[in-house]
Amino acid sequence: MIYTVTLNPALDKTVHIPNFEVDAVNRITELRRDAGGKGINVSKVIAQLGGTSEAVAILAGGTGDWIRGALAEAGIHVTAYAAEGATRTNLKVVDPVNNTHTDINEPGPQVTGAMLEELLDVLVEGIVDDDIVVLSGSLPAGVDPATYGAWTRVLRSEGVRVYLDADGEALRRGLEAKPFFAKPNDHELSELVGRKLDGLEDIACAARELVGEGIGRVVVSMGGKGAVVATPDEIWHASSVEVPVGSTVGAGDAVVAALAYADACGLPLEDTMRLAMATGAANVMESGTQAAERSVVDSLIDRVELTRL
């Protein structure tokens, strides 16, 4: 089973505003709402790929109820922990004329350490050996940045594979606990290793360093330049696929979803990376954080080029 954890979920409201201007009246031409937050995005993509997952999330107020209902309609089981206040709403402003994407994110509800401990206990009760737990996204305001690291240690002791997709101090502290998988982008990897990374070989070398520190698999996303994947035995570069851009929000989550799904299915590394890059590209074509159909993903797989480094 794949579990996704979203400690700071959101209702993602995506609006299209041609010629968006600051300090001016702007008119919306299109609007859609999606259940969001990185872990929830991962669960949505896994469902479209044909897999199953359980979304574990802190949901509050009417917005939280809406997210729970939207996931239920998509056939995704939710384990929700209630918090005071309301789950945040994030506004994504897409300007199709100037090709810009602007995010305006609200703060989430107040989350305490006791709540997190209780949620972790609930998660641990349900997991078994070889399950996958995806820890991804921002932490709620005021939560200890060492939280992902603490959760990783507990989950590893239960025999599960932890996938970590975070940034900043939460990523750094999480990596100290040696998750099975991590997905920094090239800028985050540069900060982790403490030096500027120039070119593919330098990024590959830095990815090897993380693997050498005990991370089982490292995937470094590089935007339009593709991704590098490193394991203890091999390292590859996977090309990106050029597609029409609907929204870049959630593209990285789609890649993580495909990687976790492929891992759960036991796919070889090369097939895994082709699926992951095709899934990321397919989701870029969608509006908002809507998950792409599996048929669209499959149509892009053969366009992914792999090079062993």
253 a catalytic residue: yes
Give mean pLDDT, residues 173-181: 97
Give mean pLDDT, residues 10-20: 94
Give mean pLDDT, residues 2-30: 95
Which residues have C-beta within 8 Å of that of residue 282, sequence separation ≥ 6?
243, 254, 292, 293, 296, 297, 300
CA distances to 246, 287, 288 from 29, in Å: 14, 13, 14
**Count of residues for the chain?**
309
Q: What tens digit of pLDDT does each residue of 220-252 get?
A: 999 889 999 999 999 999 999 999 887 777 789
CA distances to 83, 109, 172, 177 from 168, in Å: 25, 21, 6, 15
The model's pTM: 0.91
Q: What 8-state DSSP symbol labels residue 289?
A: T
Give the pLDDT score at 198.
86
For the chain, the domains span 36-78+108-308
Q: Is the pLDDT of residue 206 over 90?
A: yes
Q: What tens digit of pLDDT does each residue of 36-52 get?
A: 899 999 999 999 999 99
Is 283 in contact with 214 (CB distance < 8 Å)? no
CA distances to 196, 249, 261 from 254, in Å: 27, 10, 10
Give mean pLDDT, residues 248-268: 92
Average per-residue pLDDT in the chain?
A: 93
Give the pLDDT score at 251.
86
CA distances to 114, 222, 246 from 203, in Å: 39, 10, 28
Alpha carbons 123 and 5: distance in angstroms, whole number = 9
The two most distant CA atoms of the chain are separated, in Å, by: 56
Tell me the pLDDT band of 67, cut-offs 50, 70 and 90.
Answer: very high
Q: What tens digit of pLDDT does each residue of 88-143 get?
A: 999 999 999 998 989 998 888 888 888 999 999 999 999 998 899 999 999 998 89
Alpha carbons 145 and 132: distance in angstroms, whole number = 22
Other CB atoms within a 10 A radius of the CB of residue 307 amount to 12
Give the pLDDT score at 285.
87
Least confident span in 165-169, 250-254, 294-298: 250-254
Q: Is the pLDDT of residue 78 over 90?
A: yes
Q: Is the pLDDT of residue 282 over 90?
A: yes
Structure tokens at 65: 């109820």
Give the pLDDT score at 246.
76
Other CB atoms within a 10 A radius of the CB of residue 50 amount to 9
Tell me the pLDDT band of 19, cut-offs 50, 70 and 90.
Answer: very high
Burial class for 304, CB neighbours closer than 10 Å (0-12, 13-18, 19+): buried
| CATH fold for the domain made of 36-78+108-308 | UDP-N-acetylmuramoyl-L-alanine:D-glutamate ligase (3.40.1190)
Give the pLDDT score at 107.
85
Tell me the pLDDT band of 286, cut-offs 50, 70 and 90.
Answer: confident
Phi first, then psi: what are they for 75, rounded to 5°? 80, 20
Which residues have C-beta within 8 Å of that of residue 153, sequence separation ≥ 6?
177
Is 152 in contact with 136 (CB distance < 8 Å)? no
Q: Which of 165, 186, 253, 263 is catalytic?
A: 253
Give the pLDDT score at 290.
80
